[in-house]
Chain A
Amino acid sequence: MSLWSLLFDPENSIWVYRINAGSCNGCEIEITPLFTPRYDAERFGIKWVGTPRHADVVLVTGPVTAVAKESVMEVLSQVPDPHVVIAVGSCGVSGGVFRGSYALEGPLDNLYPVDLYVLGCPPKPEGILTALLEAKKILKAKRKGQYQEKPLVVDPAGMVMGR
């Protein structure tokens, strides 16, 4: 990292909030290792926060169930701009194994604009970490007002597609 980015780049600080919109918890189990010594997302300035009002990035796991929809929309409406929404896991992307169920209102992109998709059931921590690092670039574009609505897809191995 250059000295400039170490001192003045707001993109080097990303606070992540996580929403479980009816996921099976598999995705949560894969998100948690990001903050263990092996992946250590904090070295990129990524930090957990417990409230949407502090968040820059929101990870949404699970298909949005009918019960969860209202809370999810409420929480997303509390996130201050600029922010990035990431749909994590096959469920978040398309509904996954639950697609077509009567209990679903999702997937998420029917309800709220999604900037990044992470594939896999569950996705690997590498994939989620890649998505968070991509989110830095999207945040930068949003801060400058140059963001084109062109969602990116991160595959399970951490490759970014759709650029």
Chain B
Amino acid sequence: MNIYITYIVLGLLLPLVALLYDGIERKMTARIQGRVGPPITQSWLDFVKLLTKKVKLPEDTNMLMLFSGLVLMFAGAFIPLIMVFMRKGDLILLMYLMVGGTLGILLTGLAFRSPYSRVGVSREMQMAFAYEISFIFAIVITIMVTGCRTLEACSASSIPLIKWPLLLIPFILFLFVAPAKVGVVPVDIGEAESEIAEGPFVEIGGRYLAIAKLSKSMKMLALMQLITLLYLLPAGVTGVWYWIASFVIDGVLVFFTISVVRNAASRIKIDQAVKFYATVPLAIGIIGLVIVYLMRGWGM
């Protein structure tokens, strides 16, 4: 009985925390640029505002596609979020769920006939092909090094110290993949706000857009917590300290992988991004896989 209450409370609170992290990220970006920036509740306020607006969709919208896309997008962010914070579940399943979130974005964009959303979908798809393979490599290497597939067993706190240098490889891969998966500036090519007006989301508004934005924030927090859990959480933290440590490390990660990257670089073109993801992270992934395989042969 108790566990269900925990799940319900987490299911209600974690989306709010995700929106708060989004607001913190915007505040940090503003501070880096020398601005005052919005209050940290700004993303939550945007969410509330979007819920109060009337919805106006184009007449020829494919509603089935829109709804299935939104449901997939939400599920692909919400379930991983709960999974990583509860440390319950399977890494492979998590990987598939997060890919499902990307699929949701594609479906949402395909529900409209606007050329902007079509361009966004096509770019999103190319990006997904480019970075998801590195994401899969990162998870596979982690599983090979730690020899476990469930999140509880894999968390950094339960892994012997000698294996930590090997975990550096998937960690670096994750750092490469994180901005692309969350969709921030140097590689937010599919949703380029200033260029193709948020790509797949160009025609949706009101509560549908609220769900899309919420999913994006939740995806960010889930990914950060996944990295924290797998590689960064110090050994032997449990109970309240687990939550405090997670949230602090998540914040630091958001700062370094999202805010700094976003302010240091301008948007690159789709061909440059695909070329980059198809060379550097992929090469690291393949070499890492070979190294880990050989090390396993030596009994590590």
Mark A residues whose CB is within 8 Å of B.
Answer: 1, 6-13, 15, 37, 40, 42-45, 47-51, 53-54, 56, 78-82, 143
Contacts and interface: CB of A to CB of B under 8 A. Distances in A.
B56 A45 contact: no
Contact of A51 (B30, B46, B203, B206): B203
B90 interface: no
Contacts of A82: 53-54
B45 A13 contact: yes
A1 B40 CA distance: 13
B197 A51 contact: yes
B49 A80 contact: no
B46 A50 contact: no
Contact of A81 (B37, B54, B198): B54
B52 A54 contact: no
B41 interface: yes
Interface in B18-76: 26, 30, 33-39, 41-42, 44-46, 48-49, 52-56
A79 B205 CA distance: 9
Contact of B41 (A6, A44, A81): A6
A45 B42 contact: yes
A80 B53 contact: yes
Given A13-B45, A13-B48, A80 B206 contact: yes
A42 B197 contact: no
A7 B41 contact: yes
Which 7 interchain pairs have the tightest Cβ spacing?
Answer: A50-B197, A10-B49, A13-B49, A51-B197, A80-B56, A53-B205, A13-B45
17 contacts: A8-B48, A12-B39, A13-B49, A37-B34, A42-B38, A43-B30, A45-B38, A45-B39, A50-B194, A50-B197, A51-B116, A54-B198, A79-B56, A80-B206, A81-B54, A82-B53, A82-B54
Interface string B204-237: 1110010000000000000000000000000000
A1 B45 CA distance: 13
Interface of B: 26, 30, 33-39, 41-42, 44-46, 48-49, 52-56, 116, 193-198, 202-206, 209
A10 B48 contact: yes
A9 B52 CA distance: 10
A81 B55 CA distance: 8
A10 B52 contact: yes
B198 to A, nearest CB: 6
B45 A43 contact: no
A135 to B, nearest CB: 13
A121 B206 CA distance: 35
Contacts of B204: 53
Given A51-B197, A53-B205, A43 B36 contact: yes
B202 A53 contact: yes
B198 A50 contact: yes
B54 A80 contact: yes
Contacts of B194: 48, 50
B282 to A, nearest CB: 32
Nearest to A9: B45
A143 B56 contact: no
Given A42-B38, A45-B42, A50 B193 contact: yes
Contact of B45 (A37, A45, A50, A78): A45
A42 B30 contact: yes
B45 A12 contact: yes
A13 B197 contact: no
A47 B39 CA distance: 13
A53 B56 contact: yes
A138 to B, nearest CB: 15
Nearest to A81: B54
Contacts of B52: 10, 143
B201 to A, nearest CB: 8
